[in-house]
Structure 1
Amino acid sequence: MPTEEKTTQIKYKNIEWKVISNPKKDSLLDLQKKHRFHDLDIEDCLSEIQRPKIDEYDKYLFIVLHLPTMKGRGDKRHVETSEVKIFIGKNYLVTIHENNKTIEKVIAKVQSTLKTKKDYMALGTGYLLYMIVDDLFEDCFPILDDLSDQVNELEVEVFDMGKTRDRLKEILMLKKDLINLRRIIMPQRAVIAQLEHKNKKFIPEDLDLYFDDIVDKIEKIWNNIGNLQELASSVHETNESIISHTTNKTIKTLTTISVIMLPLTFITGFYGMNIVGLPYAEAQDALRYVFGLLVGVVLLMVLYFKYRKWL
């Protein structure tokens, strides 16, 4: 993963949006000097993973959000946490992230046309924050769609008896991704809900409904995760049942063979004794008699097992 620092600055009238990807300490110290950010906030920006939160100050808010991101390709895809830190003041918004694809897409969209820039930035930093956060959570749905496709695919393929054991690892990895996704999303609901009650210098009252919409979106994501977890658990249980059934069937077959072999072993062992006077041992067709006896015993046992419906 590239770690080169990248800074993007977008202005519209008196509103400034600054985005720093993979920030270095010097860049953060320059920001602190310009906007008088608290030392602890700068430390949080340098730390790899922080808990989601909102810190309120007289002149700005500091927000830490966690978003899910899908890493890897093919069978190695997995859900990871992407952290986004945001400083919002009266006339500026600073976004700090590490290779967050959604942020990069938003930047490209805002820079694409003057109209788009106006749509995002004309109503102030509070509305800009809403638009960015809304896009961040909107990009959770493709991840849910991807996981849903995996569940549906496994639901079909789990009934392929020849591949049942091969699917177990995929099912467990899917359940792990859903657990990670749930763990990431859970604290975000409270963080976004808090924005409605923070300093109205940064989040005007008329934006409360907009952030309510994001809370509703997070609730929808949360419910979808729960539904997918239930489906994944059902697929897992079905897979285990099929494995158990296949194993029992194999054991039943092996047991039947062992039971059939038992009298055959006895007969061959009996006639294998070096004793004078064994029935038909001295007969000219002794081998034929013994072989016929073995075949007859096998047929009788097979017929008996079928009669008892053991075969």
Structure 2
Amino acid sequence: MFALPFKNDKKQPIILKKLNTEVKIIEFNGLKWIDIIRPTNNEIKMLEDMYDFHELLLEDCMTEHQRSKIDSYEDYSFIVLHLPRYKKELFRLDSEEIDIFIGHDYLVTLHDGEFKPLVELAQKCQSKEESRKEYMDEGSALLLYGITKTLFDYCFPIVDKIGNNVNEINRQVFANRSKSMLETISRTKMQIINYRSVIKPLRPVVITLEKVIQKYLPKDKDIYFDDITDKIEKIWDMLENYKEVIESADSTFASLTNHTINGLMRTFTIIQVAILPMTLVSGLFSMNVQGIPMHEYSMAFWIVFGMIFIPTIFIGMMLLLKKDKWF
């Protein structure tokens, strides 16, 4: 049993949500699919008793890998897949790991149950014979194809969501230079970076998998895994395109913001030049020292006012006439 902290959008105190281990053993036409959600040492011991898996690979199932990989042995292959998962409550895109053992007549999947399509596929195969016939009738390799296809199909809506955000940023980048716009650009840029960091090491694994899986495939079925390769290449091409667009939008937003700041600074400078006589004269006549001119003269106020007002009006008119050179 696992206890994980959860926090909602309203930043309420952290509560603990208990998650139980689940094991599904599905059999059809001589093929066995064992799906383990949140494995513990008990489930690892069960696999050790059932199959001749290397102990280091079983240990790997209990630790988190940083990258996807595939190890091929004489009787089975061990596959680690990292796929992106969008965490709505955190507005963040992370990777989720799936560990897979595949042999000629069995398939073992171990994961944390975060991929809803995979959990639903296992439940459907367990409860419906037509689903077992659809996914498990032609061996372990085509069952693996069905699982990976389901997972990659799950990835496309995330890419589409990122694409919609990028298109919306492109539409608003010239009209909106608020802090929220900067946050949206930064968040979308981070999502693209995280997505690429997951997909990039997965690409060579899928290409290798296409070769390794040959020994588990029925004849003339190798075209299926070409489809998986096409899917991941399509995702990568879309991410590359979004990366270029968001970097361009980020650069444009920064340039527009700098231009706005420069315009404000230029305006403040003009205002300071316009009120310079006022500042200078009022500063001179406000000094608390002996010998200030016109100290006892009855028209002193109006003379000083004229010394301030007339040059200020003159400079203001000059700036107004030369406004095309200033703005």
Same fold by TM-score greater than 0.5: yes
- When structure 1 is superposed on structure 2, of 48-57 and 244-253 the one drifting more is 48-57
Over the aligned positions, Cα root-mean-square deviation in angstroms equals: 2.2
Q: How many angstroms does 1:276 deviate by? A: 5.9
Query: Normalising by structure 1, what TM-score?
Result: 0.90
Do residues 52 (structure 1) and 68 (structure 2) align? yes
The residue number in structure 1 matching 2:51 is 35
Distance in 2 (alpha carbons) for counterparts of 1:220 and 1:185: 11
The residue number in structure 1 matching 2:114 is 100
| 3-state SS in 2 of match to 1:123 | coil
Is contact 1:21-1:97 (8 Å) kept?
yes
Do residues 193 (structure 1) and 207 (structure 2) align? yes
The residue number in structure 2 matching 1:254 is 268
The residue number in structure 1 matching 2:153 is 138
Aligned structure 1 segments of 4 or more residues deviating by more than 6 angstroms: none
Deviations 1:53-77 (A, max 9, x none): 221222211111110001132xx31
Distance in 2 (alpha carbons) for counterparts of 1:218 and 1:294: 73
Distance in 2 (alpha carbons) for counterparts of 1:284 and 1:263: 22
Do residues 66 (structure 1) and 93 (structure 2) align? no
Structure 1 residues without counterparts, runs of 5 or longer: none
Q: How many angstroms does 1:134 deviate by? A: 0.9
Structure 2 residues without counterparts, runs of 5 or longer: 5-17
Letter paired with 2:139: G
Q: 1:205 to 1:287 in 2, by over 3 A?
A: farther
Distance in 2 (alpha carbons) for counterparts of 1:28 and 1:14: 23
1:156 to 171, 191, 194: 171
| 3-state SS in 2 of match to 1:46 | coil
The residue number in structure 2 matching 1:297 is 311
2:232 to 195, 214, 218: 218
Aligned length: 307
Identity %: 36
Alignment of 1:170-209 (within 5 A): 170-198=184-212, 200-209=214-223
The residue number in structure 2 matching 1:115 is 130
- When structure 1 is superposed on structure 2, of 39-48 and 113-122 the one drifting more is 113-122
Do residues 167 (structure 1) and 153 (structure 2) align? no
Do residues 126 (structure 1) and 141 (structure 2) align? yes
The residue number in structure 2 matching 1:244 is 258
Letter paired with 2:229: V
| 3-state SS in 2 of match to 1:7 | strand
Distance in 2 (alpha carbons) for counterparts of 1:283 and 1:50: 86
The residue number in structure 1 matching 2:10 is none
| 3-state SS in 2 of match to 1:207 | coil
Distance in 1 (alpha carbons) for counterparts of 2:302 and 2:118: 85
Query: Normalising by structure 2, what TM-score?
Result: 0.86
- When structure 1 is superposed on structure 2, of 282-291 and 300-309 the one drifting more is 282-291
Q: 1:225 to 1:161 in 2, by over 3 A?
A: closer
Distance in 2 (alpha carbons) for counterparts of 1:48 and 1:162: 41
| 3-state SS in 1 of match to 2:211 | coil
Distance in 2 (alpha carbons) for counterparts of 1:90 and 1:162: 58
Distance in 1 (alpha carbons) for counterparts of 2:163 and 2:213: 39
| 3-state SS in 1 of match to 2:57 | helix
Distance in 2 (alpha carbons) for counterparts of 1:162 and 1:231: 17
Distance in 1 (alpha carbons) for counterparts of 2:177 and 2:71: 55
Q: How many angstroms does 1:161 deviate by? A: 4.5
Distance in 1 (alpha carbons) for counterparts of 2:185 and 2:292: 65
Distance in 1 (alpha carbons) for counterparts of 2:66 and 2:280: 73
Is contact 1:196-1:203 (8 Å) kept?
no
Q: 1:289 to 1:110 in 2, by over 3 A?
A: farther
Distance in 1 (alpha carbons) for counterparts of 2:292 and 2:19: 91
Distance in 2 (alpha carbons) for counterparts of 1:263 and 1:65: 73
Is contact 1:271-1:281 (8 Å) kept?
no
Q: How many angstroms does 1:95 deviate by? A: 0.5
Letter paired with 1:223: D
The residue number in structure 1 matching 2:11 is none
Is contact 1:28-1:42 (8 Å) kept?
yes
Deviations 1:252-282 (A, max 9, x none): 122122222322122223444666684x765
Is contact 2:285-2:292 (8 Å) kept?
no
Q: How many angstroms does 1:82 deviate by? A: 0.6
